[in-house]
Structure 1
Amino acid sequence: MSKLLSLLIFLGMTAFFACFFAYPIWAALEAAFRGPDHRLTLEYVSEVFLNELYREGLWNSFIIAVWTTLGALCVALPLAVCYVRFTFPGRALLNSLLLMPMILPPFVGAIGIKSLLGQAGALNSLLISLGMMDAMHPTDWLGQQRMLGIILMEVLHLYPIIYLNAAAALSNLDPALEEAAANMGCDAWSRFWRVTLPLIMPGVFAGGTIVFVWSFTEMGVPLLFDYDRVTAVQVFRSINDLSGNPFPYALVAVMLVFSTLFYLVSRLLFGSANAGGGGRATTAREAAPLPAGLGWVCTALFASVTFLAVLPHMGVVLLSFSKDWYGTVLPHSLTLQHYHDALGHELTLSSIANSLKYSALAMLVALVLGIGVAYVSVRTRIWGRQLLDAMAMLPLAVPGIVMAFGYLAMTREGRPFHWLMLGEDPLMLLVIAYAVRRLPYVVRSAAAGFQQVSPALEEAAQNLGARPEKALWRVTLPLVAPNLVAGGLLAFSFAMLEVSDSMILAQQSTYFPITKAIYSLVLALGSGPNLASALGVWAMLFLAVTILGAGVILGKKLGTLFRG
């Protein structure tokens, strides 16, 4: 590709990120720090820390994030050690199943957990039938322990992120380092704590940082648990009062500052560290076979974690089929009527059509941007290419709720991007928001493809008379097409179930995407939760099929898209 065209792509990508990533964040911060006289003020941000309600929301969000990260670490680290170090029955299959929570959105699973842990839910019914609970005084799990329920949901959804990072770090660790410690008389337990864990800590901490920021800013699960005392939900509840109220933007600014600080601290502490031996094993590590008893213990451990992770979604499936599920361990009777009604309901039909439209357009935008960023980063040597790649990955570090409010701020009356809101139609905003949020998946997939295809093929085509642009179009892109398809599938499927942007940017029911429709149905009386569950099952099946398709195409490289 010519230097001029590469430079034009670089400038175009930079302009896009400036307009639709940097500027929305700036617009949200400006709304938080600008007073009525248009002067800089700290009054609104200060009020966040002075107001007891806002302080409680921040503190609860922090507590949820800390316990979620610790819980995910306790689940993921032993599993990663077992998988990398040992062989046991069903090892490959269980490793694949362990990643299922990544295709089962917690926003949907929260519907099922309410059916399992409600006062007349399955758990209480089981305890009553076993004589372990008084039927007249059932425990209100979701009333008294809603924060615990949120933490459990987040742990069961996010542990694969730490698992992938820890397993990769363990695989790259040079076995010679542990062998040297063993030769000096260090027992297995001491070797793990004094040698292995410090060396893999950069990878563990990278995954832990993603989990911490994700759970600190999570909105969907607390919202379905009707837990208003967290910052993300407080921000969401204030949407209807944005015209003259700067405090939602102040809350968003505080969330952004805290998330950025958490990320920077992690990079400062562990960003430049490498696992010993140059971060790559000098000799291959072979998984050691375990005695039959211990092998089956590992199998049971993997299977138990997987079962607990999918249990909330099993509750969604049961609720979607149930005619009457009240006060029993399982539904009294089953029906397919809710699936029929879900596909015939006015709100669900329009939401499915809207999500397909928003997500398909966002996928196309992300593919165009992702191909440009990946090509410039991998195949050129122009100045700033690494900065461009870093910009493309930044959406993973910025909370979705921050970006959503940034888009609201940039389209307010008098703003240069006010035209993006076509009346009340959020089409253009949601397409841009989805594309920016899922762009990192496309960039990583495309970059992997370009790295696998030799530049010599393009050079050969050019030597035969093809222009650089034609060589790229006719030679390189067809060869990296599987990677582009996989990245596009991931961008499309995750956009279909995006929560923060969908809940905040779509305000009229005519324009609701699937997640906003599910939330509206959950709040409805009668069969609303059943219809929401049926719609959720359709969405989970769709997400599972697309991600499995991407997994078939990318193979083992799929996991690298979710690593810190």
Structure 2
Amino acid sequence: MTDASGRAIREGVERRALAVLAVATAALLLVVFYYPVGTVFVESVVVDGVVTLGVFAELLRDPFYFGEFARLFAGENPLSVGRDLLGSDRRLGIVGFTAYQAALSTVASVALGVPAAYLLVRFEFRGRRTLRSLTILPFVLPSIMVAVGFVATFGRSGTLNTALAAVGLGPVELLFTLEAIVIAHAFYNAPLVARVTTAAWESVDARTVETARSLGASPFRAFRDVVAPQIYPAVLMGAALTFVFTFGTFPIVLALGGFQLATVEVFVYRLVRQLHYAEAAALAVVELVISLSILLAYLRYEARHAVRSRGARTLPRRPLLPPAPTLREVLPRVGLSAYVLVAAVVFVSPILSMVLASVTGGDGALTLDHYRFLVDRQRTGAAFQVRPWPAIRNSLAFAVGSLLVALPMGVVVAVLTTRRYRGRKLVDAVTMAPLAVSGIIVGLGLLRGLVFGVEIGGWRIAVAGSIAIVAAHAAAGYPFVVRTVAPGLEGLDRSLVESARALGASRARVLLDVELPLVWPGVVAGAAFAFAISIGEFSATVVLATGTDAYTMPVAIERFIGRRLGPATAMGVVLLVVTSVSFVVIDRLGGESDGL
């Protein structure tokens, strides 16, 4: 083979490399996400080899799941049903209660998130940038670890009741209540609302506000008529995402509410453990339809009402502590002080309480007994018992495996969704669907499909539970790689790409030599997210790890918390350290990024 022919083959491969990567990514997405979700749908409509909607019909007419609305599906008079819904003894059912707690969680998250956005956008103070960066915490901290922190804070002997007893006040019973679940959900989702609202608020052009003020508008009217219409879509986006996330809640409700405050997701898990797969699949499909309907309704609203500003000059920030504040300046700051106090209880105390509980004995004295318990369990624990080192080892191994899958998938999808071509929005929606689908659904689909085995051409193909866990983690993590890499690719100077192409570089060579080096911080940040999300993933893992030794740190915490809080908090601290160190180490390799 001559040099010229070899070069021609190499150039041909490079020209087609991106297309090949796109096809490979689509096939992988089909295997790790769409096939499992499709399996759940098939399980819900195919029973004993017969296509039927009977399982859905039974669900819809069952008051246990749909409360008073089940009577509507059974054909009763809507007026009679509506009258009973307004009564004090109305029944919501599992689906109704799930929507109710999601609505309350959404209100609480918006109520905590919007003031945080106001604080970050309108005031300048030391640590503002750090505080803004901390709004990324919901995407890093494992939910089961946060649940342990809330148990340590709001439990009968938790830090809250200890503090109240110190000042002579009685105990507060919050654990295993709806209020505890709502507060825990606000911990996760208020920073999300704050982040998206802050981004929208910072894009408001200060010149439009100045124009309104020059025409005689009061500060309130300028805000109502100019600023508010531009931040409403962001607030609604945060609310819609919060509702979807809390409607599909699982670890927090399982730890803080148990089955007495069970949501749809908890019952799907319970049905899976009881081997009622058809009913579990049908209930999961109902949950998926409701979640996607909420997101679709929001996207339709955004398409009609979103306001976008180009070349905007951001609103000026005022000092949080002016040297000589007037009464008009003091009042908002008093309100912000009260907000900071509430936010400290909601956002800071659970983590600190978990750390404190891990080194505190039953008599309130400092001790390392809980950590010694973990060491003893590792040395002498029976084969069927959860041990710390296998949990840590499995978590790290699964995280590395999912990173190797999620990172190239995310980069390829980011490239595809930042190119100008017909159907790009459809590709973006299809590839971002994992954000709206719960881990329980993906885990159930992988369990019933690839883990149990698939018949293809007379051959039965099955994968180990550990491989399925890596697939589920990759499906959960790669959208975050996309959201950190895509903004950098969108903002690149296209003349650099065009110059490289004019000099004869193939599309793949331009991507490798020009584009990715310029957005490398975003790539590394995406890798950090994918790694941390895998370490903390619980929903799919607990389904796929049941009855196996493939348990992870979050699964170990869930099993400990049902027996002894002390070891659960110690394991939570270990998880916190491993997650934080992993995130920091990976993130340090590539610098900072403003993605997500």
Q: Which residue of 2 aligns with 1:220?
A: 251
Q: Superposed, which structure 2 residues align to 1:401-440 within 5 Å? A: 401-411=440-450, 413=452, 415-416=454-455, 421-422=462-463, 425-440=464-479
- CA drift at 1:112: 2.8
Displacement after TM superposition at 1:490 (Å):
1.1
- Structure 1 portions without partners, runs of 5+: 326-331
The counterpart of 1:241, out of the listed 246, 261, 274, is 274
Match among 348, 352, 356 for residue 314 of structure 1:
352
TM-score for both structures, normalised by structure 2: 0.82
TM-score calculated relative to the size of structure 1: 0.86
Q: CA deviation at 1:223?
A: 0.5
Task: Note the C-alpha offset of 1:493.
Answer: 0.9
Whole-angstrom distance in 2 between the partners of 1:335 and 1:222 = 30
1:202 Cα deviation (Å)?
Answer: 1.2
Counterpart of 1:521 in structure 2 is: 560
3-state SS of the aligned residue for 2:212?
helix
Q: 2:58 aligns with which of 47, 67, 80?
A: 47
When structure 1 is superposed on structure 2, of 464-473 and 59-68 the one drifting more is 464-473
RMSD: 3.0
Q: Confirm or deny that 1:230 pairs with 2:263.
A: yes
Contact 1:150 1:221 in 2 (8 A): yes
Match of 1:369 in 2: 409
Task: Select which of 35, 42, 52 maps to 2:47.
Answer: 35
> Whole-Å Cα distance in 2 between the matches of residues 87 and 478 of structure 1?
33
Residues 106-255 of structure 1 aligned to structure 2 (within 5 Å): 106-133=143-170, 140-143=173-176, 146-228=177-259, 229-242=262-275, 245-255=277-287
2:120 partner letter: Y
Deviation of the 1:546 alpha carbon: 3.9
**Is the 1:110–1:153 Cα contact (8 Å) retained in structure 2?**
yes
**What per-residue deviation string (whole Å, max 9, x for no partner) do you get for residues 161-190 of structure 1?**
111111111111122333333334332233
1:86 aligns with 2:97: no
Evaluate the alpha carbon distance shift between residue 384 and residue 473 of structure 1 in structure 2; reply closer, same or farther with a 3 A threshold: same
Superposed, which structure 2 residues align to 1:276-295 within 5 Å? 278-280=308-310, 282-289=312-319, 291-292=322-323, 294=330
Larger Rg: 2
Higher relative contact order (CA 8 A, sep 6+): 1
Q: Distance in 1 between matches of 2:272 and 2:285?
A: 15
Q: Which deviates further from its counterpart, 204-213 or 368-377?
A: 368-377
Change (3 A) 1:164 1:335: same
What's the CA shift string for 1:22-48, capped at 9, x where partnerless?
22222111111223351231x212322
Once residues 181 and 98 of structure 1 are traced to their aligned partners in structure 2, the CA distance between those partners, rounded to angstroms, is 32
Gaps of 5+ in 2: 1-12, 67-92, 379-386
1:328 maps to none
CA–CA distance in 2 between the matches of 1:195 and 1:449?
29
Task: Give the secondary-structure state (helix, strand or coil) at the position aligned to 2:537.
Answer: coil
Letter in 2 for 1:5: A
Deviation sequence 1:278-322 (CA, Å, 0-9, x none): 433533432133535548644674465145312112221112111
Alpha-carbon spacing, 1:201–1:476, altered in 2? closer, same or farther (3 Å): closer
- Cα distance in 1 for partners of 2:522, 2:56 equals 44
Alpha-carbon distance, 1:541 to partner:
2.3
Cα deviation, residue 333, structure 1: 1.1
Query: Who is 2:72 aligned against?
Result: none
Match for residue 329 of structure 1? Answer: none
Matches within 5 A, 1:270-419: 270-275=302-307, 278-280=308-310, 282-289=312-319, 291-292=322-323, 294=330, 297=334, 298=336, 301-302=339-340, 304-324=342-362, 332-342=364-374, 345-346=377-378, 347-378=387-418, 384=423, 386-411=425-450, 413=452, 415-416=454-455
CA separation of 1:73 and 1:463: change in aligned 2, threshold 3 A? closer
1:356 shift after superposition:
0.8
- Cα distance change of structure 1 residues 132 and 337 upon mapping to structure 2, 3 Å threshold: closer
In the alignment of these two chains, the number of paired residues is: 538
Which runs of structure 2 are paired with 1:507-546 in the superposition (5 Å)?
507-524=546-563, 528-546=564-582
Percent identity at matched positions?
Answer: 27
Q: Distance in 1 between matches of 2:412 and 2:304?
A: 28
